[in-house]
Amino acid sequence: MRWVLLFCLGAAALVSACGLGAQYPQFTAKQYHLTGNRTLPGTDISGPASFYRDDEKLRFEGLTDSHGVATVIFDPARNVSYLFNAAPSRRRAFAGPAPQPTAIQLSESETPQPLEVAWAALGAQNVRGLGRCRIAGERGNLWQPRQPIAPDVVRTACITPDGIVLQLTENDVVLFEATSVRRGPQPASLFVIPETYRIISNAELAEVDDDALSVARAGTARAQTPR
């Protein structure tokens, strides 16, 4: 009986040391600045990424899925996100004054989300622990969904006890890996659109797209007219 007890205690200690009996994160980290590198899923396109979070206020700087390298902020008061347009090219300096910078409203599907959102939604019952990890000087635990997110697609995340995702992999590809984590309140100015920017709504953007399409169609029609 004594040997059985010692064996059980030893096994429990080993599991704990390996992080296999770790508690799923509580996702209490709501104020931080997380920097790292990301790779777009299914591509070899990679670049820097920076997440700022202060409760419900969010700011993302870096490689986006649909708009290249850009800055996106989420305004909780309006419940919308805005994309800051890229800086004008030097070529425009010889073609007259630069246009007014714009902030374009994004749809919900286009808005970068904090990496922990999807893992918090999974819940402890839908993941399994794989052991401990250490990234960017931070300790965490490896977690994996019990069910793949898609056929032949397995994602694994290294997450700190307070819920910051340090690394995200898809099969053997690293989609994100942190290089720095700074907890604490973030400057309010990070989440405000500069006064010099013009905000463009979805309706205005649709009008611009329609006008551009009309001009393109008119040009095509003229090109096809017999002379």
CATH label of the domain that carries residue 91: 2.50.20.10
Which residue segment(s) compose the domain that 43 sits in? 20-211
- Cα distance between residue 61 and residue 78, in whole Å: 20
Task: Determine, yes or no, domain membership for 223.
Answer: no
Q: Is the pLDDT of residue 135 over 70?
A: yes
The verdict on residue 2 lying in a domain is no
Total domains, the chain: 1
The contacts of residue 159 (CB under 8 Å, 6+ apart) are 25, 116, 119, 140, 141, 143, 165, 166
Domain assignment present for residue 110? The answer is yes
Residues 6 or more apart in contact with residue 190 via CB below 8 angstroms: 52, 54, 57, 59, 73
Which one of 88-92, 96-100, 153-157 scores highest in mean pLDDT?
Answer: 153-157
- Whether 146 is in a domain gets the answer yes
Q: Per residue in 55-75, pLDDT tens?
A: 999 999 998 888 888 899 998
Flag whether the pTM goes above 0.85. no
- Provide the percentage of residues in the chain whose pLDDT is more than 70: 74
Q: Evaluate whether residue 216 is within a structural domain.
A: no
- pLDDT value, residue 207: 66
Beta-ladder partners of 215? none
Report pLDDT digits (tens) over 193-221: 888 888 887 677 666 544 434 433 344 34
Residue 6, domain member (yes or no): no
Residue 8 is assigned to a structural domain of this protein:
no
What average pLDDT score do residues 147-162 get?
Answer: 92
Short-list 166, 173, 157, 162, CA closest to 134: 166
- Whether 148 is in a domain gets the answer yes
For the chain, the average pLDDT equals 80
